[in-house]
Structure 1
Amino acid sequence: MAKVAFLGLGVMGGPMAGHLAGKGHAVTVYNRTAAKAEAWVKAHGGSQASTPRAAAQGAEMVFACVGNDDDLRGVVLGADGALAGMSAGAVFVDHTTASAEVARELAAAASEKGVGFVDAPVSGGQAGAENGVLTVMCGGDAGTYAKVEGVIAAYARACRLMGPAGAGQLTKMVNQICIAGLVQGLSEGVHFAKRAGLDVEAVLDVISKGAAGSWQMENRGATMNAGKFDFGFAVDWMRKDLGILLDEARRNGAKLPVSALVDQFYAEVQAMGGNRWDTSSLVARLER
């Protein structure tokens, strides 16, 4: 069992930290809103710290799951950041979906202190975090990854090292590119079936057994048909992710016309008031 810290207790981080505690690890948590950390400790045990630095002191591994690049820099760098409290040989694991650029930046800063760094964005959404079945895509060196792989298993069903620092974030970008086009296609299929007067549930049931089948169809097709978007991964978060990957594409020259178009479709959903709707709400813009 390890002594660990977890920074950020949102809809993803809270359950992930809970799984670490449930596996017997000694967990110290930090959250920008202290009341959320207090509630977590009441539910799971462990301890609470007032700063990332205090949480990281003495920890073998420090995990983070926060909002964006700037949030991540805020909990890692500076006098109260986690690196200021970490000892040589410890490892920082970042589960935030952020840019590959910030991953490389923080890996270099950690290296100067003799601290390991793994960028480890996740896929599986809130349900995956709660059920401990996330897919984790990692970037870093093999030796550092080997130290944390077994601990990450507390909330992952799949975890793989994809390459050096930043490779985890780049892999997550591929994940979001694939999801964006797929959800748009599924939205159009549901919309078309309705306009054609078909039994949408029957259509989804039969085509899900063939080449059109997907996780999104199995898990979101029926709720898209019913107009229910109150769960899963929020539109605001998807737009953040699409912004990151479109920026990266501008740097590396990749052509992502569908991703760029779907990003604008999500902007329309936001204009409809759907900021916190699930990403399957793309169908709503077709039916307004």
Structure 2
Amino acid sequence: MEISDLPVWAEVFPGESVQSWLEATRVSLGLDAHDWWAWCALDPKETERQAGKKIWTWLPEGLGQVTKVPIDLRIAPAWREIYCPRCVVNAPVGLRHPVLAKWLDVRSICCDEHMLLLNYRSTSKCIDVGSDPELLAWHYWLREWRDDGSLAVAEHRFRRDLLLAATRNWSPTSGLIAGVGSKWLLTEKGWLVPGMPSRLQQPGCPGRAGMLSPGDRMSALFSAWQAWMAIGEGISLALPKWPREAWHWLDARWRTRLPYERGALIADIAASLPPREHVSRLRSGRRR
């Protein structure tokens, strides 16, 4: 059966992800979830496409494209139940909250139209990003990085490496990510709700921020922004407390590739925190 053969199609919300629209169509048809998804044959590695070489035909216009999101900055399929409280479709079977394809980018923390912090199915918060200057500045930094093609390539890579440094577990054993320390501030401000526990990661893992659970991902993103503020703007109070290995990794990659003042600051931080013996093993997975 082709999509064009279906008797009912869900209404498309502009920019909606393919999987979100397929789920809405399933509900409209009143079909069993197991049978429906078996027919859709989602690729488990990227649920916005079919498995193998199959291609859905006759998808409606107006759907968003996950291909516009860099692979290393995509949220993993397990964590894509995202919604904006005010993005709603009034369907015949009831109201539904669509998932937009651009929200599958880790740098999307709010709805650009309603300026509300994006929610997850375990939460019911409705937070205006303009209600807190720090939250708003963080959002603008992430959105600039996501949308502004005029940013220098080096700056894009530097921000990516800051996020990777915050995302990794730099311990030689299972442990928490470097940016986990920011979670208390996010929770204190009400940007995260209790019940989003941090997860242990293997040494040097994960390889990308999108693999993190929502709470850990938000913590890593905020921690990366704090590091950028400290290095780029000289705001010492923003410096996150990352393990020494994270700073030595950044120093090795960026000391001579940044403007002198920024590179020197990373070098000074790294020099004040001697590396452990296992740092070279963690460096082996770095990106070029």
- Normalised to the residue count of structure 1, the TM-score between the two structures is 0.29
Higher fraction of helix? 1
- Normalised to the residue count of structure 2, the TM-score between the two structures is 0.29
Higher fraction of strand? 1
